[in-house]
Structure 1
Amino acid sequence: MTRHDPYPTVTTAAEAVTISLAGLATEAADPRFAEIDRMPVGVLAALMNDADATVPGAVALALPTIVPAIEAAALRMKAGGRLIYVGAGTPGRIGVLDASECPPTFSTPPEQVFAIIAGGSKAIVSPCEGAEDDPAAGIAAIDAAGVTSLDTVIGIASSGRTPYVVAAIARARELGALSIGLSCNHDTVLSAAAEHGIEVLVGPEIISGSTRLKAGTAQKLVLNMFSTIVMVQLGKTYGNLMVDVKPTNVKLRERALGIVRTIANVDRETAVVALVANNYNVKQTIVALRTGLSIDEAGARLSAVNGNLRAALEEK
């Protein structure tokens, strides 16, 4: 069987799973963890912490494949494309988590960054494990999302062989989208299906095959990079300040207030009055305070530079 043959001819479905999982590091049983059911809580907690500490190093080793994928994704999003995560089970839920944080953090519309999970929205909170074995459903989900050549689609699968995800990524690539496969094994089917293959080799889990552990942590770290760096490239921050924050609760309104005071160098009362007048549009408020422009003029200046606050403030 080659890496391009995820579904070899076998007599039973159980045999297919056995063959396809054979040799995967994420499925291996590490002898160091063979006695965890006999360990005191403190010893086991320290062991898990030591294992988790290896994950950032594994991500660092994968940076040569992560960086060009992020650069390509940023270019497509600058042209109006979307960032779409596709996964099943834990990887799917991690994609949902990362995507759901983009609207409040960066004021992105829900359709700009979103996740597709095998089994649909019910699978977010309830196990729907069989859904991952349906490649036709993965293809249908990509078609239903209206994926185009402007979009970036990231397939997430710890094993790198999940049929739903592999099929979805292959279909996205057929449609001309930027296709990225994120897995935690070497030389995977998912990497072969994608234009960019990212393999973060975290090794065996403390509980053999429980990829919600180190593999899940690695996936979240990589998706953090994608959503954060792409948004920085789109001008969603000013330095490290969250200037596109959507102030939908008390905490976020206080954060917006602090950002305005810092960048515009004004007192609290001035910042509050200006933010209220601007309907808590942080960037527009800052431009108006820093330049003396009216609200409408500040908005027009931002629009002229695609919402990039630094460019708006530096415009002569």
Structure 2
Amino acid sequence: MLTISRSVITIPLFLIVLLIITLPYDYLLLNHSLITDQVVYQVLLTLRNYIPFTVVLITLKLLGVNIRLTLKELGLKFCKIRYLLLSGLIPYAIYSIGVAYALLIGLNVVNPLIPLYEEYGAKLYPGSESFLLTLSLLSTLFVGSTVLGLIMLGQEVGWRGLLLSEFMKVFKNYLLSSLLVGVVWGLWYTPLVILYGFYFPNHRDLIGVLVMVLTCISLSTLFSYVKYRFNSLLTPAAVSGVLNGLHNLMVRTVVVDELYSIPTGFLGIISTTTLTLILYLIKRPTRI
């Protein structure tokens, strides 16, 4: 692995390369006059998740280390299937805790398929709401843990892989390292939040960016826990995949402004933090 002294070089190098690649990529992505085909646009938006992975490869190449060995040491390796399934269940716990908090403070909770179908102008037959919601929740566990998980792995190699590892070497503190990774992670979404309305279509401003950063900080602590608990980057990738798969349902379950929603609003932040504390009290990862 990289030495402690080299970590001081690795972190700024990673951040500089990340900036150099992300800014022109986002300019291309957000300039619709350059990309008119919607399919191409969606493919490019999906591939954006692999920018952190690409940055890791470039950083390791510039440092002259063994890339394959270092990636394995960072956690890019297979894990047991049950670890993926357990990780995939975590977003459902965030969902449940968030709904519980919403009910506790008297917010309006609805079946998310009802507003979702209305937005797309689709017809939802009376009496089918509960069955379709159950089907959606179950199918998302599989798709999120596999297909979407592989997509989100591109981010995890960067955030919970190289960046978390190097912050841990410098600061020797799990919470501080996770917080710093969360800040970088959240700021990485800034162009999409402000210019595209990513996650916060009604708050394309600094408030939206701030809530996104706070959301990423809370999720970063949880994802770091999962990574160290199961010793594989595939597990936080599975959490992220299922969480993204559930997003359209979660954000429409509680009738509030998106800044207060689940999972990328204050309800999500509180529920994620609550779950992380519970998991940490139940079993602390041995590598922390």
Q: TM-score range by the shorter chain?
A: under 0.3
- TM-score, with normalisation over the residues of structure 2? 0.27
Higher helix share goes to which structure? 2
